[in-house]
Amino acid sequence: GRFSRAFSISKAMPISSDCALLVIDAQNGFMPGGGLPVAQGDAIVPVINRMAPLFENAVLTQDWHPASHVSFAANHPGRQPFDVIELPYGPQVLWPTHCVQGTPDAALHPQLHVPQAQLILRKGCRPQVDSYSAFTEADRAATTGLAAWLHARGIRHLYLCGLATDYCVAWSALDARAAGFAVTVVEDACRAIDLNGSLARAWADMKAAGVQRASSQSLLAG
């Protein structure tokens, strides 16, 4: 009947409506040629585009830094990118200048296609505090309001993808668990920076917090 025809059009069953896809920082700045390029970062875009239609709920995040941001090595004379300094909230990696507000570097990748996204959350906007996580800034005090927004919509399970696995994706996954969500990281829809063993550390932390791992193929297979 009508139902079997409807389902045969879509290869996979849609993901339950209490789930949301959280696309972390799929921006030009983290793609090859960007200010802080992640190796093969652009390879995630077609993967995200293939699985995005399974979700009726989606949120995109954007790193959105003022040019004066404290995390930029260029703002610390005598310092190099990837040096670590101490800030009032703890150690801070100094990054190449990236994702400056309003620049093409900060724009979402032009091929990213998640038209149903209800929210674009911009983070790292405060000059003196970095923000890897979509939920809590690096001072671990200021929240972005995302957890409350998702709870208000009845979302219980988050599927994370984006850049980079070992920084903004991992920190967001850990904070999502702390905020009471079930969390699955879609591994092939992420890429890592992997600075000084940061990727292995991030996966160990995520596993300890109860974060699940999946592949986009497993979601598409229903």
91 backbone dihedrals φ, ψ, rounded to 5°? -70, 140
Average pLDDT over residues 78-82: 96
**DSSP for 109-167, written as a single string:** PTT---TT--EEEEE--STT----SSSB-TTSS-B-SHHHHHHHTT--EEEEEEE-III
Cβ neighbours for 43, distance < 8 A, ≥ 6 positions apart:
191
Active-site residue among 19, 25, 130, 161?
25
Average pLDDT over residues 178-188: 97
181, amino acid identity: F
Cβ neighbours for 142, distance < 8 A, ≥ 6 positions apart:
126, 129, 136
Q: How confident is the model at residue 12 (pLDDT cuts 50, 70, 90)?
A: low
206, amino acid identity: M
Active-site residue among 19, 99, 161, 168?
168
Q: Are 181 and 156 in contact (CB under 8 A)?
A: yes
pLDDT value, residue 10 = 47
pLDDT value, residue 7 = 44
Q: Are 55 and 16 in contact (CB under 8 A)?
A: no
Query: Which tokens go with 181?
Result: 């969500």
Alpha-carbon distance of 137 to 125, in angstroms, equals 10
Average pLDDT over residues 181-190: 98
pLDDT at 157 > cutoff 70 = yes
CA 125, 126, 129 angle in degrees (round to 5)?
Answer: 115
Unique residue bearing structure tokens 């200021």 = 142
Alpha-carbon distance of 49 to 132, in angstroms, equals 23
Beta bridge partners of residue 92, listed in sequence order = 85
Average pLDDT over residues 74-91: 95
Point out the least confidently predicted range of 91-95, 137-141, 142-146, 179-183.
137-141
Alpha-carbon distance of 147 to 133, in angstroms, equals 11
**DSSP helix/strand/coil, 199:** helix
Residue 25 a catalytic site member: yes
Q: How confident is the model at residue 13 (pLDDT cuts 50, 70, 90)?
A: low
Q: State pLDDT tens for residues 163-172.
A: 999 999 999 9
pLDDT value, residue 15 = 87
> CA dihedral defined by 25, 28, 34, 35, rounded to 10 degrees?
-50
Residue 207 a catalytic site member: no
Q: Are strands 90-93 and 119-123 parallel, antiparallel or unpaired?
A: unpaired
pLDDT value, residue 9 = 42
Active-site residue among 123, 130, 161, 166?
123
pLDDT at 187 > cutoff 60 = yes
If one compares 24 and 142, the residue with the highest pLDDT of the two is 24
Average pLDDT over residues 62-79: 97
